[in-house]
Amino acid sequence: MEQIGRAAHVSKALVYTYFPEQHDIYNAALARQVRALDEAGLEAATREKKLRDAITRCVAVYFEHIVKWGPLLHILWSDMYMAGHTEDALLEWRAQRMRRLARLARAELTLSAAEASAAIELIMTIPEESGRLAFHGDIDQDTARELCTELTLSALSSLSAQSGPVR
């Protein structure tokens, strides 16, 4: 909290006024990230009627978010300290969006619930990693964006080859 105060040019006491516990600041950062994703169109993308449309839109939104903000969202979601401290509303935000995509995958690819959820989780690592590489300058943004799109479409194609075409 002291380092955060220094970085923000405020006292540690002021930081504690707004964020009494460390997990409060994590939740605030996480809430800001999820709001930004929905404002960029993630919520609407998960409501697409066809899996390919939903996934490609979600991946595009998530990629651009990572390029802009870096891998902060992934860090927050995977932080062991936060595991038992993430606000229920934020957990539900993520679960809702993943469920919508998994339902489409189940319906169009005839996957089990577990397989559909796993497939969506794995596909969403593509924009996460390609966006992270672009954010850190390890690859230029256009190449990363193209790679992200091609890998996503390839993953969908592979899944559809096993269970039928993705509409």
Domain boundaries along the sequence of the chain: 41-163
DSSP 21: S
Overall pTM > 0.75: yes
Question: Residue 163 above 80 pLDDT?
Answer: no
Q: What is the pLDDT of residues 85-126, one digit of tens each?
A: 999 999 999 999 999 999 999 999 989 999 999 999 999 999
